[in-house]
Amino acid sequence: MDMGLNNKTALITGSTKGIGKAIAFELAKEGVNVLINGRNYDKVEQTVNEIKSKFPATSPQNATADIVDKEQREALFEKYPNIDILVNNMGIYEIMSYEDVDDEIFEQYFRTNVLAANGLAKFYLPKMLKNNYGRVIFIASEEAIMPSAQMPQYAMTKSMLLSLSKSLSKLTIGTEVTVNTIMPGPTLSENVHQIIDGMYPEEVLTFSEKEKKFMTTNLPQSEIQRFIKPYEIGRLAAFVCSPYASAFKGSPTVWMGEWYPLFSKY
DSSP string, 6-38: TT-EEEETT-SSHHHHHHHHHHHHTT-EEEE--
Question: Which SS3 state, helix, strand or coil, does residue 199 take?
Answer: helix
- Omega of the bond leading into 252 within 30 degrees of 0 (cis): yes
One of 93, 109, 124, 154 is an active-site residue; which one?
154
Q: Is-catalytic flag, 200?
A: no
58 vs 135: CA distance, rounded Å: 19
Identify the DSSP state of 61.
E
165 vs 14: CA distance, rounded Å: 19
52 vs 43: CA distance, rounded Å: 14
Cβ atoms of 144 and 159 within 8 Å: the answer is yes
Strands across the sheet with 134-139, in order? 61-62, 33-36, 9-12, 85-88, 134-139, 177-183, 254-255
**Residues annotated catalytic, as ranges:** 154
